[in-house]
Chain A
């Protein structure tokens, strides 16, 4: 399906703050089998210099996937979510996410292309604390499959 390339460069308003909870980090770490004590035990995390338990590297997707609904559900862009598959994913960290963070996402549409009847949409989500400290930049490319 073709997506309107005039959306490239569009930045959406900051999302409501997401409270990173210690139990959510533990739950996520457990779900992926990450047993390092720094994901579970605040003392172990403090020994590494962090204020509380440390999230595994892909944890920010919990926050950014919810935030990206701003784009996916933008009626003006018109993404058919039932035809979406995940193309690429990248995280560039200023620092790891830790329990106690209050995170705000700013979504920007970086690229829209189409090839072979499929639409490709690349978004960048700048994740920072509500105090404005940058934490991680997250890129996600989705493929909106064309009708076969």
Chain B
């Protein structure tokens, strides 16, 4: 079963806010000068910010903020975030792979930005509320 796609807008302001909330102040997430010096196209989103947005999608699908039992991803492609008001968008979709006898649902998740997958092996196990 396919779950409805959820779309998240990501701007530079979001990255600054996430840096402060998470304590991850790596300059590749806020300085174009630094990011380009280390060979990136420009400022990129924190991988963990992308994962957090996917986490939001998963808890929304599950219908409960405390539903996630297991959650893992591989970061395969950076999410470049331009310095403008639009930023970029991350689209998150998923299919239900399995519903186990003990009430757990396993999801295979896909996250794309500008039509390219940014995660692989993105999987979540959730306990659906009764």
Contact = CB atoms under 8 A, between A and B. Distances in A.
A, B from the same assembly: yes
B71 A32 contact: no
Contact of A91 (B14, B47, B53, B70): B70
B74 to A, nearest CB: 5
Nearest to B69: A93
Interface string A29-64: 011111010110000000010100010111001100
Given A66-B23, A89-B72, A31 B65 contact: no
Interface in B15-47: 17-18, 20-24, 38-39, 47
Contact of A87 (B21, B70, B75): B75
Interface string B64-85: 1110111111110000000000
B119 to A, nearest CB: 10
Contacts of B66: 38, 48, 50, 54, 96
Contacts of A66: 23
B52 interface: yes
Interface in A63-91: 65-66, 82, 85-91
Contacts of B17: 30-31
B81 to A, nearest CB: 15
A-side interface size class = 20 to 34
A16 to B, nearest CB: 15
Nearest to A37: B65
B41 to A, nearest CB: 14
Contacts of A89: 47-48, 51, 72-73, 75
A32 B49 contact: yes
